Structure 1
Amino acid sequence: MRLPVFITIFLAILFSSCGEYQRVLRKDDMGKKYAMADSLYKMGKYRKSLKLMEQIVPSYRGKPQGEKLMYIYSNTYYKLEDYYLAGYQFERFTQAYPQSDSAETAAFKGAKSFYHLSPRYSLDQKDTYKALEKLQEFINRYPNSGKRVEANTLVSELQEKLETKEYEVAKQYLHVEDYKAAIGAFDNFITDNPGSHYRKDAFYGRFVAAYQLAINSIPSLVQERLVTARGYYNNFIKYYADTNLAPEATKIYQDIERRTATAQTESLVN
């Protein structure tokens, strides 16, 4: 059965182009490799283009075509979502060509590469800190950049992720009944994150942890620790009296007052 003419032509072109690509890939003609890599890059055939670029990048360092090649080489990794190598190559590009017209874009994409590497909050946040560092460097270096708003948005997202991790760690201490550690963790969170939307929950968590520590202490420490818990209640209610957590906090506070009054009565009787 004969294939339609247009399919035959298409297959002929396809095999011809594949054959040409393989020939250029095997040969030592740097000029042809460069031209084909550039052409494939423009067509969005990034994997094929990358194979050629990997062969020629060292040969073009310091040459006039090197600047363009290094940029599209870095951007190819970005397009392929290989963000480790994209971040590394964009950083090398900005160091090698600080006056390039592409330097600002490269700096932003390099920083954004680390943003893409930032894992979910429950994992190690080394890459998140790296992304924050690189984004802040970009903002400082290009204060009037059109990418500044997006860069600030990315910074806010990463900071919120770090806040979430810190808050969840404190909450976990409370969950496993390590009340002293919970109080310390909530204290640190409140100090370190004054604008966080978890702030209300941190104030409440610290109060609950102090209350639980008090009522689960040996008798000689209960009253002293109830006084501390009362202080944390006052801190909470000062800022969050009209929130959904206030009724439960007040219920706990009333139990503190009841326990304190009972202890005082027993002390007088004895």
Structure 2
Amino acid sequence: MTPGLRELVVHLGGARSMRGLRFAAGLIVLTLPLSGCGTGALWDKFAAKDETYTDEPADKLYNEGLYLMNKGKDPKAASKKFEEVDRQHPYSDWARKSLLMSAYAFYEAGDYDSCIGSATRYVTMHPGSPDAAYAQYLIAASHYDQIPDISRDQGRTEKAIAALEEVIRKYPTSEYATSAKKKLEGARDQLAGKEMNVGRYYMEKRDYTAAINRFKTVVTRYQTTRHVEEALARLTEAYMAIGIVGEAQTAAAVLGHNFPDSKWYQDAYNLVKSGGVEPSENRGSYISKAFKKLGLG
């Protein structure tokens, strides 16, 4: 969950009134050789460009952006105000604050790609800022909020996981690391769900080897997700189907040891019993080793 507008503004130092340095634009007069009868039209072209452009004060633009953001009035319009601060006053402290606020505004507007762009630019330009953790979190949250259904390609989920792990690695003591860990579990659960979905498809086709490879991924990489119980039961089923009884016994035994009350364990237990054997763990199996790494075996 991203912090609200009030918390973010307070964190950035509020909307203090401050006038930035003003630079007067000088006119460069070009002396051109004038000859012939066409010089009047040529001079008119230069004269037509003699217009004075006045920048708006940085604090005015910034506060207008905050007003538009307040209570979610118009985050898209707010982002434009914040971008104007950066464009008109690129070296001011207001520009730094506005860059982060524009990323936040884009996120609130659901413009995730623009949010990622602004937040990435912030992290690149201000890596030592106290707000860099939040910018990195916005990148991760933008990817996370675009995670697709398990029936579709999970490239965005992979990006979300990488970005969330970056938040945890770089800013382990920040409040954003705690939120990133929760989102990380959700993203990993999504990838496990994708593997299960494909594995079930192969089971229906009786392509047991392909199915085993999918369920194996869940057991070895996503043991903490809600899908692992079913994955162990499916491994029991697939290994029994192709006659690798020892691995089926191990899958059932590990399932029973770690999830004794699971409905999937009862199915796995009945399956190996129907083959005339009992659940029995082979500690040299990859299934057993995967759980030992987590201290679950």
Q: TM-score when scaled to structure 2?
A: 0.64
Which shifted more, 108-117 or 77-86? 108-117
Asked if the contact 2:62/2:85 (under 8 Å) is kept, the reply is: no
The one of 249, 252, 258 equivalent to 1:234 is 249
Task: Give the corresponding residue for 2:206.
Answer: 177
Superposition pairs for residues 99-178 of structure 1, below 5 Å? 99-178=128-207
Following TM superposition, where does structure 1 have runs of at least 4 consecutive aligned residues deviating by more than 6 angstroms? none
Displacement of 1:154 after TM fit? 0.8
Kept in 2, the 8 Å contact 1:203–1:235? The answer is: no
State the SS of the aligned residue for 1:99: coil
- 1:131-170 deviations in Å (ceiling 9; x for gaps): 1111111112212112222111111111111111112211
How far off is 1:254 after superposition? 5.1
Give the superposition deviation at 1:172: 1.4
- Counterpart selection for 1:95 from 124, 138, 141: 124
Q: Secondary structure at the match of 2:91?
A: coil
Describe the SS at the equivalent of 1:236. Answer: helix
In structure 1, C-alpha distance between the alignment counterparts of 2:122 and 2:109, rounded to whole Å: 18
What pairs with 1:33-112 in structure 2 (closer than 5 Å)? 35-36=60-61, 38-44=63-69, 45-55=74-84, 57-112=86-141
Structure 2: distance between partners of 1:32 and 1:191: 57
**Corresponding residue for residue 189 of structure 1:** 218
Cα pair distance change 1:60/1:143, threshold 3 Å = same
1:239 Cα offset (Å): 2.7
CA contact (8 A) 2:62 2:94 kept: no
Tell me the amino acid that sits aligned with residue 46 of structure 1.
P
In structure 2, the CA distance between the partners of 1:160 and 1:59, relative to structure 1 (3 Å rule), is: same
Question: What stretches of structure 1 of length at least 5 have no aligned partner?
Answer: 1-26, 215-224, 259-270
Greater shift, 82-91 or 63-72, is seen at: 63-72
1:29 correspondence with 2:54: yes
Residue 93 of structure 1, CA deviation: 0.8
- For 1:144, what is the secondary structure of its paired residue? coil
How much does 1:73 deviate?
A: 1.9
In structure 2, the CA distance between the partners of 1:53 and 1:207, relative to structure 1 (3 Å rule), is same
Shift of 1:40: 3.9
Contact 1:37 1:48 in 2 (8 A): no
TM-score normalised by the chain length of structure 1: 0.70
1:250 Cα deviation from its structure 2 partner: 4.8
CA contact (8 A) 2:58 2:85 kept: yes
What is the root-mean-square deviation of aligned Cα atoms in Å? 2.7
- Residues 83 and 99 in structure 2, CA contact (< 8 A), matched pair in contact too: no
Identity %: 20
Distance 1:139 1:254 in 2: 45
Give the counterpart letter for 1:31 in structure 2: E
Q: How far, CA to CA, are the matches of 2:75 and 2:224 in structure 1? A: 43
